[in-house]
């Protein structure tokens, strides 16, 4: 009985096996166990944790450099010394908790802000361009008014004394003797390397860099001044009878004051390229250069403006319905007034930021809040230049590798297959090219013709030189691989079938050595990137204002930069190192996956 049961089980097993074979299940399982060479290479590469880490790092940098510049555009010709050498970080507009809700006044400097609470205590926040800004004068008492400039502060005490701290060069620390002799001051102002003070008698005093702004008072103006406004190179006064007077002899687009507003102006504001005058009917009149829309006052505001303040390229206005509005440059959001649930009672505008103060005393800031990786000596955002520079560096390296690989594959393939005199001739030519000293050759060529061509042509020249002088290595590698493959049986079969020699080389032999070419090209990519960066670093590669990782490091060679402005060299060096190391890890991983014995060697 047991024997019959076992026989039935065996017959059932045989039938199931036959059924599985008929449906291809067994064949499928066997196919799953058999790995193709490509799949073996892939699985070996994926198991290499170092290589996969390199892939992740490189892809992250590559995608950032290629995609983010579309969302974070950069003007290569942009420069602004007021933003020079700003340290990384945010918080330029983060009002201290002890001030918000208890504010008397706030004002914006270049990259920092100052404020006074109701008790006259001083608050400072932001990124300070001068360490002396944190050293408040001792014994100055309570303050009634405060103003922030480029890198200094001017304040008025409750006793009517003018005090200043921060940058004390160019006479900024020398308050005029007239102000110390009893003149009653009603308003102070800290500007771009100058300071101003207006007295109750209508006289305007200035001190600081007289070479930048040397005030000249038209007849009848001094002693009749009700208010004033200033920017980086001009000061304008508003007289008691509502007229605007230009106090600088330097001509400009905004020095031609419209005649139709004279005698009706109640408030005056300046940006760096334009002027805005508020007349008694609540209308804002602008003149000068319309840089970044600084003259484009929204029609809906006209007739409703009570106050107006000017920043670098934007204006902020307080309206009669208790709201605030802004127009002009909005690169950093300085013209995007936030929605607040209370009426606005005060406004302030500075270089690239703005503040509005609600009736509750709470301060709302909007605009430039900081830089992720700081700025360079020209005030340019290092993070955005890193993205732009990475695109340029990777593009130069990739095209140079394509050129060198194309030449190397052709020369090496023909040399290895043909052999004999052709092989000897091509290899001697390869040795001649490889013996050329690349850096001296590139420097000499760049010095001879670099200034006679455009920057685009210069970049193309660098890519071509890199490609034309870096192919010998891959040519020798391809030659050796073709020499080994040309004696194989499939080559003999192709010859017997009458296949042309070019077809045998490029259609039959090269596909068998393509993995070796890919590995070598990957490693050469990192080498070309480093070479381009080296050329740019010594000043013979891609030049300013175009950004590459190399020429960004070129601007950080001085001891002062290395010691005081670490972010200018750390970030470019870090991304260049991470990118090249990642590419080398990928190349090493591919080599080990293709040739496992290479690990032993």
Q: Where are the domains of the chain?
A: 45-69+380-599
Distance of alpha carbon 410 from alpha carbon 478, whole angstroms: 9
Q: Of 222, 173, 221, 163, whose CA–CA distance to 194 is shortest?
A: 173
CA dist., res. 392 & res. 373, Å (int): 19
Residue 558's CB: how many other CB atoms inside 10 A? 13
- State the Cα–Cα distance between residues 47 and 27, nearest whole angstrom: 27
| pLDDT at residue 30, as a whole number | 47
Q: What's the confidence (pLDDT) of residue 86?
A: 93
CB 312, CB 272: distance < 8 Å: yes
SS3 37: helix
Tokens at 318, concatenated? 């307080």
Q: How many CB atoms lie within 10 A of CB 564?
A: 11
CATH numeric code, 45-69+380-599:
1.10.3720.10
| Token output for 70 | 């579309």
Q: Tens of pLDDT along 353-392?
A: 999 999 988 999 999 999 999 999 999 999 999 999 998 8
All residues at 6 or more sequence positions from 560 whose CB lies less than 8 Å from its CB, including other chains: none
- DSSP tag of 505: I
Comparing CA positions, the residue from 462, 490, 482 lying closest to residue 411 is 482
Instruction: Retrieve residue 36's tokens.
Output: 């193709």
Whole-angstrom Cα distance, residue 44 to residue 48? Answer: 7
Question: Which tens digit of pLDDT belongs to each residue from 468-482?
Answer: 888 888 889 888 888
Q: Which two tokens stand for residue 385?
A: 């230049």
Q: Rg of the chain's alpha carbons, rounded to an integer?
A: 36
What 3 state SS string does 164-190 have? EEECCHHHCCCCCHHHHCCCCEEEEEE
Spatial separation of the C-alpha atoms in residues 227 and 239, rounded to whole Å: 7
Element (H, E) at 560: helix 559-564
Report yes or no: 188 and 154 within 8 Å, Cβ to Cβ: yes
Residues 39/47, Cβ–Cβ less than 8 Å: no
- pLDDT value of position 27: 44
| pLDDT lower than 50: segments of the chain | 26-27, 29-30, 32, 601
pLDDT in tens, 487-520: 777 777 877 777 787 777 777 777 777 778 888 8
Count other Cβ atoms within 10 Å, centred on residue 95: 21
* Phi, psi angles (nearest 5°) of residue 321: -95, 10
Which of 586, 590, 592, 38 has its CA nearest to residue 600?
592
By the 8 A CB rule, do 477 and 522 touch? no
């Amino acid at each position: 009985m047991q024997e019959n049961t076992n026989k039935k089980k065996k017959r059932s097993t045989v039938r199931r096996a036959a059924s599985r074979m008929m449906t291809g299940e067994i064949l499928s399982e066997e196919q799953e166990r058999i790995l193709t060479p490509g799949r073996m290479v892939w699985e070996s590469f994926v198991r290499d944790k170092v290589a996969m880490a390199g892939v992740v790092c490189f892809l992250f940098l590559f995608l950032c450099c290629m995609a983010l510049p579309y969302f974070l555009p950069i003007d290569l010709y942009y420069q602004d010394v007021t933003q020079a050498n700003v340290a990384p970080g945010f918080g330029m507009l983060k009002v201290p908790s002890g001030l918000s809700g208890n504010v008397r006044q706030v004002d914006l400097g270049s990259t920092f802000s100052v404020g006074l609470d109701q008790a006259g205590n001083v608050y400072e926040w932001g990124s300070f361009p001068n360490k002396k800004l944190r050293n408040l004068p001792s014994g100055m008492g309570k303050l009634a008014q405060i103003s922030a400039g480029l890198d200094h502060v001017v304040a008025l005490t409750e006793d009517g004394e003018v005090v200043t701290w921060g940058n004390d060069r160019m006479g900024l620390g020398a308050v005029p003797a007239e102000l110390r002799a009893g003149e009653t001051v009603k308003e102070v102002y800290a500007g771009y390397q100058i300071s101003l003070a207006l007295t109750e008698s209508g006289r305007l005093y200035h001190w600081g860099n007289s070479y930048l702004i040397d005030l000249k008072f038209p007849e009848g103006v001094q002693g009749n001044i009700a208010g004033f406004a200033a920017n980086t190179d001009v000061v304008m006064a508003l007289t008691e009878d509502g007229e605007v007077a230009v106090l600088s002899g330097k001509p400009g687009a905004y020095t031609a004051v419209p005649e139709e507003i004279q005698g009706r102006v109640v408030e005056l504001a300046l940006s760096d390229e334009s002027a805005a005058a508020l007349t008694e009917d609540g209308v804002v009149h602008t003149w000068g250069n319309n840089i970044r829309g600084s003259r484009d006052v929204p029609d809906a505001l006209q007739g409703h403006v009570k106050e107006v303040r000017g920043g670098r390229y934007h204006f902020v206005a307080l309206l009669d319905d208790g709201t605030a509005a802004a127009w002009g440059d909005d690169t950093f959001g300085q013209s995007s007034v936030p929605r607040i649930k209370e009426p606005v009672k005060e406004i302030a505008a500075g270089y690239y930021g703005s503040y509005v103060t609600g009736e509750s005393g709470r301060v709302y800031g909007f605009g430039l809040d900081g830089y992720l990786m700081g700025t360079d000596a020209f005030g340019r955002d290092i993070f955005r230049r890193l993205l732009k520079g990475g695109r340029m560096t990777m593009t130069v390296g990739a095209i140079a590798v394509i050129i060198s690989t194309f030449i190397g594959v052709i020369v090496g393939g023909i040399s290895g297959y043909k052999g004999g005199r052709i092989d000897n001739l091509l290899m001697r030519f390869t040795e001649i090219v490889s013996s050329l000293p690349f850096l001296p050759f590139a420097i000499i060529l760049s010095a001879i013709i670099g200034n006679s061509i455009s920057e685009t042509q210069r970049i193309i020249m660098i890519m071509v030189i890199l490609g034309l002088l870096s192919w010998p290595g891959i040519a020798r590698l391809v030659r050796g691989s073709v020499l080994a493959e040309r004696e194989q049986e499939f080559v003999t079969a192709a010859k017997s079938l009458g296949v042309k020699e070019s077809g045998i080389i490029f259609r039959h032999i090269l596909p068998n050595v393509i993995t070796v070419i890919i590995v070598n090209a990957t490693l050469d990519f990192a080498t070309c990137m480093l070479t381009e960066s080296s050329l740019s670093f010594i000043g013979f590669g891609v030049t300013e204002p175009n950004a590459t990782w190399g020429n960004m490091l070129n601007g950080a060679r001085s001891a002062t930069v290395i010691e005081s402005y670490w972010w200018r060299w750390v970030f470019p060096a870090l991304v260049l190192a991470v990118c090249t190391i990642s590419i080398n890890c990928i190349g090493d991983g591919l080599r080990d996956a293709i040739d496992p014995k290479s690990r032993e060697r």
